[in-house]
Structure formats: structure tokens, C-alpha cells
Structure 1
């Protein structure tokens, strides 16, 4: 071993390991090649060029906490050299992505303008080289032309971006991390970046060192740390074992641990189910639950949908070897806005992914999980990668519906006809979400009017819709969750509500309506442990 250093160390609990693609925080759509190409070309590079042109405007915006999630780079004027260098690097190393995105946009614009119902087979001959062999050109049943990208063929192509993948180590507190969507992780004194493919086996060794003592020299060798950087790398480790708050459960009941936002862990003595994993990392006194409080093995991870706060590569990479099966919804391959979660996970090194259709069931000793249909929260786009979870654990029947919007209560009546009533409902109530373009703007072929953009928001249920959902499910207990108010998730969510915010007003009304009907209800914020 290098330098004879065989000291056994743990990764410090406060160490953050952010996966990066060209120094941008890797959320799920940056793992999928087509969506990354569109984000690089039509979001990231324009943002950086705007910062270079007017750094003072962006700097002023960073002083306004309400603009954290807006189209402003949260850096300072003295970061200009690093940003210019990043633009040059991305322009060179992402050339294939940029060419693909520009060709895709231009071809689709031409297609929408010229294909009116007649035969379109001849268009394959005019595909630019970047698109040839990667698209299917079709009509829908209303004679609207559509493109289907054959996603499976692009992960091992020059669009994969493996050569731009890296891990950024830091001890920055969660609440001080920059917002994921608008600010790259440029070189800073507290940040240590290691080029590493996300699927690399070295991540297993690294992640394991959070809870197991590991030879430091083995970590150094596995990650290819240069001798001159070993002392800096050593700062992220400790000889002390982490403090863990009863991660294993062997009781007779069902233990529910709420880690904040939409992350819930269900445990019996025989099975563990983790929903939408997203955690605080920094250990603190009190009732706060953190990453190290997870069990050593998790039988099932259930991802409700393909948004950044529910599908987190940062977290998933660090529990990759602790998961039995990952349960995800099937995507709609006919829209670029809906990339395959299974393919993205495979590129992260997972080979244990099960794709579920509505009402598919997974059975185990203490019960079963059922995939539920999911309305709303996607700005009326034709996106299939979304499902809720019905779970029966030791006879306790629960539904976790995250950001669902009860647009048609009859859906849930049909669900109850097949599955029976649900005792405990977990429902998200972000009833005024972001407009369409906030997340999906880079995927639009043609610009949408501001009026239409504002009208098509990623909304969850308001009070009336949440109440209708509860009535149809016949629930006798309810929790409002997935509101994103925990300060340690702000880099993911940028949600700061006041008592006058619509989300708070509507969820308060729902809680009071439930209580008036003698139904126990509360809005969760922070961490909790409950027994059922």
C-alpha cells in the first residue's frame, strides 16, 4: 500500500460527496444523456455566459434569499476566471452533447412545421449524423409528428459523459450548499474534486467507509489520489466510528422513520422499505435523523418520480451496495421530458432495478407493496415516470403520494375498489409549484408564452383536493409531508414558506378540516419516529 499507510478510518459524517457532471451537481436528468445534452446547451452554458457578461447582476441576486432557485449563478465576481475556464472546458468536452442538442432542436422544429399527416419515411435520409440511428419519427393518433429517442443506444456513445464525471468532497454544511440547478461546483479551497465514473467500484469502498473502518491507503489507491493530495484527502476522514441512532429494528410493530421532505423508512423485524431517499448528513444533538441512521441493508428502495428531490444520485450512489431492489415507474419513451429511470440507475452501477406499472405488486413475508397511479405535479406533460406507493405491512395499510394532485377523485375510488381502504395517508401539498419552464424549459422545441407557462405549474393538492383524496381512500389518519421546509434540503428545493404562502394556508386548512372530523392529522417538518 502507498506510503505504508494502513490506518483504518471512517468517512466523516459531515463529509459531503457531490457527484458532478462537468462540475455541475448531478441530478437525475444530468445522468440521462439526451436530457444532459439539452441542459448543457440550453440551460448551463447560457447561465454561465450571462454571469460572465453581468456578474454584478448575479451577485445582487445572491443577496436575495428568495431568488436562490432562479436563473442566477450564485457565485462572486472573483469567480469569473473559474467560470470562464469552465465555459471553455464544457464547450470542448461537451461538443458532442451540444451538437446533438442543437441538431435535435432544429430537426424537431422542421418536423413540426412540415409534417402534416403525409408519409414521413423519407425524413430519415435527412437526419444529421448526430441523430442518425438514434431516433424514430412517428405520428400520434391525431397526426401530430413526434420523435422517440432510442435512449438505450446513447449511454455507451460519445454522449455518455463518463469522462466528465467526478466526485466533489467538502465539509460545507447542508444549509450552506449552493442550489443544484443554477450554480456549478467550481474549484474552491474547501472543495476537493476527484475524477471518477459514477459506476466505478471505488465508490462502493468509499461509501462503505461511512460505517466500516477502511484502510486509508486502499481508498487512496482505489480513487487514484495523487501523493501530493493525500494529506488534503485525509481531512475528510476520521478514526472515530460514526454515532448511529438504532439503525436496525427487531420489534413486533412497524417502525416509521421520517427523515424530512419525502424520505420515509419503514421497518419491521423482517423487511425495510425506503421511500425517496434524501438525507441530512451533519450530525447534531436532538431528534434529527441523518444518513448514518440507515440500516446496514435496505430490502426495497421505492422512488416515486424522476425529480431531483426524489431521485438523488448523491444519496443512491452511497447506498448502492446496501439495497436489495429498487422499484421505479415505467417511463414514456415518446417524450424527451420523461427519460428512463431504469437506464439512469444502470449507468450509476445498479443492476437491481424493477420497473413497475400501475397496480403491480411486490410481495414479502410481512406484506406487500403496490404501485399506484399518480396525477399531477408535472405541468400537464405526458410523463409516466411517477407512481405512489400503497403498502400493507403487518396489516397496517398506508399510502405515500408525495406530490400527487387529486385532479379526479374517481381515480382513488377505483384504487380502493381493487385494494381496499387506506388507514394512513401521507400526502404532499405543494399546491403552487414551479412553472413548466423551471425544470422542463430546455426540452421545449418552441417557446411557450409566459401566461401559459405560469398556468402550467407542477402543483400538488390543495385542501379541497387533499380532502377528496382522503375521503375516497377512507383514511383515518393523515400526514402532510414532502413540503421541503427542512433547512438542510434547501440546496435541493429552495422552498421558504411564510404563514401567508398558499402552501401553508392550504395545508393548515386541511389539517384543521381533518381534526374537525376527528381524524388525527399534522404537517411534518424535520424528523420523526413513529410506531404503528
Structure 2
């Protein structure tokens, strides 16, 4: 049987059955999340499953730190705990060794030379770690991330690609619950870097021999029955390139925007939905062109850096542009190192104010303020895409804390035809994402003060004025319904973020500038810019 991978088939990469967000996929941050978040969550659930069930019976508690094991029940959680303790030995050891070495540095790193402490490095840190001081004389660890991916802590045996026939609207929040085996799921026990996955995902566009592919994945007969149901004989719809001479924008949800100028395409922060997810009329992964010339990733948060989507597009992407990290701190993981380890080619890093010319497109990395808890994180950028004589600025989750920055960059980036900006002005506490990585805990008060917040309406409007933006699009609010299990958000007109969107619309309207909320789907076009 030759068939296509159905456009409704959902693909979820997992590590030890937890959704592979970047801080779980990377060896060192994944180790700390395993020991300080996942294992305690599993043990806590097993102590009192009823408490978790009662909490999650309240819909307003969606996204709270309670496990929903689904049909696997408590036994499924117990089995996962047992398997993880055995299969996760390398990561558990690495996490313990990181904490031990941080304690050693706290005790001995008082300005004296750190070279004698290399003899205290445990085996899991040898060859991958440098002992350093910052300019305030604080001792710490710096990781050679490309080498970390060559150690046992990568744990490719713990990587699973779990397939569903269609989107599960009832799936629990992936930060709180593991994705346990369940009826209707087909699990592929292959590393994310496996070329077999490229064969599978190529079937989105071209038919494959389903039985032959199932054999390559080593599926038994029971698993093959589920695997067959993921395919269809119906030909996929084909992408129609924009041949108007101008630029077409298609909104795929959240921060995913496809620009097309004469068939040359640029895709930002792809986190895409699927056909048949119960929410009709939006663009899905099936609406992408066969080749995406450039993919631009603004930062490493899981709603902008989605391995789920990226793995499916791995052999369809010409160039991936990522921000350059500071090199080796726990909070500032290297996106290029991760992508290259997982089999991506032609990954280009841009530092602040650097540009890449790719065909007719110019991508410039602008500084990104805010939304990262005031941690020293460099792997983030506000991408400026110039295409077809038009300028598109993707301010994502940035907060214009110091608007002077944009006075300086405005001199160099030229006309901004459209400003895309998020108004995630509430944000999660710092520890919600970065807690397992901190050397020492911080108070709840400080965690909230340093929350992962973006812009309010008034600063966003001031930014638009400084840049001379002729159109504002509010996006990246996490409210698309097919992303609820990833973002923990949903459309609520009373939410502060949506109140701010109305305020921004009014502020911009007073200046004669249109501001629009992007939600579910949208398509807009700009004619070719006049030549001067």
C-alpha cells in the first residue's frame, strides 16, 4: 500500500515521555528538569493521585502543576517512574554533579584560581565544562554544548516520536503531565536525528510504501495497525506561490507567519497545527510550500522553537536563522548546537545587528529586551525581514523597557511596513520555566516581579511610532485553541492581554495607523514598494 502521511497526523517528540521543549531536549538543562521537576512531579502524583484529579476537575486549573495520566492511570505513572530511574541514569548523574560542582564553586570560588578545582570535576562534567568567573567575581560553570551532545547524557534511547491520528483537544498541559502510552498512539522508538523520520515526513508530500516504512521502524503487528491509520490515499493540496510581484503574509497561528515574494518564502517561529483538529479554516502544516527558503527563530521558548514542527520540516528548509547565544550558560542554551545535533543543516547564527542576505530577503537580528526574567540570555532576537522592498519587524514577546534602543536601530533598518508584536503583559513567574536551572531558589515575590512578560499597549504604540510602523499586528498571545496543551492559554476577552489589544487599537487609530489582532488565521498582501 502506497499512501501519504495524513495532514491530520499529529507528531509529538518526547524525552522520557515528557514533551521535548528545548530545556528538556538539551542534555544539561534536560538533566536538571528531570531531577528537579519531572521526577518530583511523578512521585508527588503517586503519593496522592486523588488530589491531582480533584484539582484538574476544575477547568480553571488547566496548566497548573498537576498530572493528568489519562487512560494510563496511576499505574502508568508508576511504570514511567521506574523506567526513568533506570533509563535516565546518565542525566540523573549529570544533574547531581552539576549541583555538587556549583556547591564546590560557591565554597571555594572567592577570587582564588579555579584551576585546582578541575581535579574535583566528576566524570560527567569532564571535557565539557569550564570553570569561570564573571566580572563580579562570581564563580560558575560554562558548558561546551556541542561536546555535551557527544556524552551519554544526550540519552537518545529516551527519545520517542509519538503519533496521533488527529489532534486531541483534551490533551493535558505538556509542562505538567507526561505523554503516556495510550490507545490511538503509535510510538516510534527512534532518536530525533534519525533519517527514518525524514522518510516519514516526506510522505506528507509524496506517497510511500507504508508496510515497508513500518518494517524500517521495527513495528510489530499491533503497532502496524495503528501506523496504517495515520496514512491516506488522498493527495495533499499543493501550495500556490505568490506571483503578484508584492509580498503576501499568511498567519498560521501564534507567532508563525509565512511571507512569500515571488515564490521565495520566509517562515517565522513555526509552531503549526494540523488538519482535522476541530478548528476549521486556519492554515495548517499542510498549507506550507514544499520548500521553505528561510526559517527564522526568534528565541528558544517552546512556543517559538517547536521541535514538533521543525523535525517535520527538517529536509524542506533551506536555511534556519537563529540568534547567537552567549555560549554555555544553563539559561542560554545554544539553538544552533541543538538543531545541528538533531540533524538540521545550514543553521546560521546572527548576533545583534548582524544581517543575512538569503536570495531576495535580508534578515537582521535586532536586540530583544524583556520576557526572559532578566537572566543573561543572548539567544534571542527581534527579526527584521526585508523582502520585496517591504520591511516586517517581528517583535514577538519583547518589551520596550528602554525605547532609546529603537531610536538607534531605526536609523539602520529603514521603513517598517508592518510591526508584529505580542502583548503578553502578564506572563508566568520566572521559576515556572527557569526554576530548575537556578543555583539557589529565589523568593516567590522576586519570581513574579521578574516574570516572563512582554509589552503593554502603550509601550508597544510608542515602539511603533519610533519605528514609523505603518501597520501593527498583535500576535503570539498563545490563544489559538489547537495550542492550548502547549501554551496553557485560551481566548478570553476579559484577559488583560486582550484588553491591552483593544487599547493599542485605539492608540494607533488616533494616529491613523491600523492595529489588528491576529487570531486563528489571516492573509494580507503588500504591493511591491515603489523605487526611489
Q: Contact between 1:257 and 1:528, CA under 8 Å: does it hold in 2? A: yes
C-alpha spacing 1:264/1:483, structure 2 compared with 1 (3 Å): same
Does structure 1 residue 81 correspond to structure 2 residue 84?
no
Deviations 1:266-302 (A, max 9, x none): 0011410000001110247863111100000010000
**Structure 2: how far apart are the matches of 1:321 and 1:266?**
19
Q: TM-score, normalised by structure 1?
A: 0.95
Q: CA deviation at 1:119?
A: 2.1
Instruction: Tell me what 1:443 maps to.
Output: 437
**Structure 2: how far apart are the matches of 1:240 and 1:322?**
21
Q: Secondary structure at the match of 2:363?
A: strand
Give the 5 Å matches for 1:272-351.
Answer: 272-283=265-276, 287-351=281-345
Q: Contact between 1:327 and 1:353, CA under 8 Å: does it hold in 2? A: yes
Q: Secondary structure at the match of 1:36?
A: helix
RMSD: 1.6
1:43 paired residue among 37, 42, 65: 37
Q: Secondary structure at the match of 2:376?
A: coil
C-alpha spacing 1:228/1:458, structure 2 compared with 1 (3 Å): closer
Q: Contact between 1:337 and 1:440, CA under 8 Å: does it hold in 2? A: yes
**Structure 1: how far apart are the matches of 2:272 and 2:411?**
35
Q: CA deviation at 1:78?
A: 6.1
**Structure 1: how far apart are the matches of 2:91 and 2:206?**
39
Deviations 1:241-282 (A, max 9, x none): 2345x4433332211000110000000114100000011102
Give the 5 Å matches for 1:406-445.
Answer: 406-445=400-439
**Structure 1: how far apart are the matches of 2:134 and 2:441?**
21
Deviations 1:444-473 (A, max 9, x none): 111111111111101101012112211111
Instruction: Tell me what 2:137 maps to.
Output: 143
Structure 1 residue ranges, 4+ long, deviating more than 4 angstroms after superposition: none
**Structure 1: how far apart are the matches of 2:264 and 2:373?**
36
1:521 paired residue among 506, 515, 519: 515
**Structure 2: how far apart are the matches of 1:137 and 1:354?**
28
**Structure 2: how far apart are the matches of 1:146 and 1:276?**
32
Instruction: Tell me what 2:109 maps to.
Output: 115
Instruction: Tell me what 1:475 maps to.
Output: 469
Instruction: Tell me what 2:264 maps to.
Output: 271
Deviations 1:168-192 (A, max 9, x none): 1112425333222111111211212
Q: CA deviation at 1:114?
A: 3.4
Q: CA deviation at 1:527?
A: 0.6
- Structure 2: which 5+ runs fail to align? 527-532
Moved more, 473-482 or 131-140: 131-140
Q: CA deviation at 1:365?
A: 4.3
Does structure 1 residue 199 correspond to structure 2 residue 193?
yes
Instruction: Tell me what 1:507 maps to.
Output: 501
Q: CA deviation at 1:495?
A: 1.2
**Structure 2: how far apart are the matches of 1:40 and 1:506?**
37
Instruction: Tell me what 1:64 maps to.
Output: 58
Would you say how many aligned residue pairs link Structure 1 and Structure 2?
A: 525
**Structure 1: how far apart are the matches of 2:70 and 2:279?**
34
Q: Secondary structure at the match of 1:232?
A: helix
Q: Contact between 1:390 and 1:399, CA under 8 Å: does it hold in 2? A: yes
Q: Secondary structure at the match of 1:511?
A: helix
1:405 paired residue among 399, 418, 421: 399
Instruction: Tell me what 1:4 maps to.
Output: none
**Structure 1: how far apart are the matches of 2:200 and 2:449?**
45
Q: CA deviation at 1:476?
A: 1.7
Q: TM-score, normalised by structure 2?
A: 0.95
C-alpha spacing 1:523/1:228, structure 2 compared with 1 (3 Å): closer
Q: Secondary structure at the match of 1:490?
A: helix
Moved more, 405-414 or 10-19: 10-19
**Structure 2: how far apart are the matches of 1:99 and 1:47?**
18
Deviations 1:60-118 (A, max 9, x none): 12222232222111225961111111101110111111111012112213322432222
Deviations 1:276-333 (A, max 9, x none): 0011102478631111000000100000000000111111111111100000001122
Give the 5 Å matches for 1:342-421.
Answer: 342-421=336-415
Q: Contact between 2:4 and 2:203, CA under 8 Å: does it hold in 1? A: yes
Q: Contact between 1:146 and 1:334, CA under 8 Å: does it hold in 2? A: no
**Structure 1: how far apart are the matches of 2:11 and 2:281?**
24
**Structure 2: how far apart are the matches of 1:226 and 1:130?**
36
1:177 paired residue among 168, 171, 183: 171
Instruction: Tell me what 1:490 maps to.
Output: 484
C-alpha spacing 1:435/1:228, structure 2 compared with 1 (3 Å): closer
Q: CA deviation at 1:229?
A: 3.0
Moved more, 399-408 or 140-149: 140-149
Q: CA deviation at 1:497?
A: 5.1
Deviations 1:160-211 (A, max 9, x none): 1111111111124253332221111112112121201111111111001112
**Structure 2: how far apart are the matches of 1:68 and 1:512?**
32
Instruction: Tell me what 2:92 maps to.
Output: 98
1:11 paired residue among 5, 24, 35: 5
Q: Secondary structure at the match of 2:153?
A: coil
C-alpha spacing 1:356/1:78, structure 2 compared with 1 (3 Å): closer
- Structure 1: which 5+ runs fail to align? 1-6
Moved more, 417-426 or 362-371: 362-371
